[in-house]
Structure 1
């Protein structure tokens, strides 16, 4: 294979990959329809002294566990919501400085109480209860 054939085949491969990625984003895709539901029957505890949960020791930190995004607000309260956007199931991030949850994929935003404040979705996030007992944080439905 010469240089021209190689570059031509690489370009075709990249174009195919780009097209397939776009089809995956479509509102009619099966992944979209099956994955926007929030976890149910949630009941687990996080040990805040464990290194895996270190993000929750400082205000504004967050982590994902059991399909739930658990965050510590700027005031030190613990909050928990479903980990994925209600638009197309993309992972959310917690932006403590802005006091909101944000979807990097389509720009949806939600309050710390899960209410929609912007973006292509109209469905609020599922919110879970949190209870702190010593260094154990319980997250439950």
Structure 2
């Protein structure tokens, strides 16, 4: 085999290898976002007198329960949104000082009303209602 044939064979092999590898990583029509929705039919109550829920007694505190993040804003109101990022379903955290829900994996951020602030997420969070009666906080859809 001469030099020209050798280089042609290597080029063809490399092109085939690249094609096979790229076929497995092709982008979907949603640019890699899964469009994750929050759970439906949410209806649970948190007893704010028990230690497991103590984070909700402090402005800026939060906890996750039943696929929902429940937070007490710095203004002292309660908000509840789906726990998973709408980009690729990674768990969110609440950043009270920034008044936002945040995904540590890709940097998506959402307002306390669940609206997208930073991409790569392009869908708002599912938001749930909250009602405080005495020391019982009800979260529902």
- The Cα shift of 1:34 comes to 7.1
Tell me how many residue pairs correspond in the alignment. 113
Note closer, same or farther for the CA distance 1:75–1:33 as it changes in structure 2 (3 Å cut): closer
Correspondences of 1:5-84 after superposition (within 5 Å): 36-84=36-84
- 1:113 corresponds in structure 2 to 113
Q: 2-side partners of 1:133 and 1:49: how far apart?
A: 12
CA RMSD of aligned residues (A): 1.8
- 1:9 corresponds in structure 2 to none
SS of the residue corresponding to residue 86 of structure 1 reads: coil
* Structure 2 portions without partners, runs of 5+: 1-25
- The Cα shift of 1:119 comes to 1.7
Q: 1-side partners of 2:58 and 2:42: how far apart?
A: 24
For the pair 1:104 / 2:104, whether they are aligned, the reply is: yes
Larger radius of gyration: 2
Greater helix share, structure number? 1
SS of the residue corresponding to residue 120 of structure 1 reads: coil
For the pair 1:94 / 2:94, whether they are aligned, the reply is: yes
Contact 2:107/2:118 (<8 A) preserved: yes
Q: 2-side partners of 1:47 and 1:68: how far apart?
A: 16
Q: 1-side partners of 2:105 and 2:27: how far apart?
A: 13
- 2:122 corresponds in structure 1 to 122
- The Cα shift of 1:37 comes to 2.2
Q: 2-side partners of 1:113 and 1:33: how far apart?
A: 21
Normalising by structure 1, report the TM-score.
Answer: 0.76
- The Cα shift of 1:91 comes to 0.4
SS of the residue corresponding to residue 49 of structure 1 reads: coil
Note closer, same or farther for the CA distance 1:35–1:64 as it changes in structure 2 (3 Å cut): farther
Runs of 4+ in 1 over 3 A off after TM superposition: 32-35
Q: 2-side partners of 1:139 and 1:104: how far apart?
A: 25
Q: 1-side partners of 2:36 and 2:49: how far apart?
A: 32
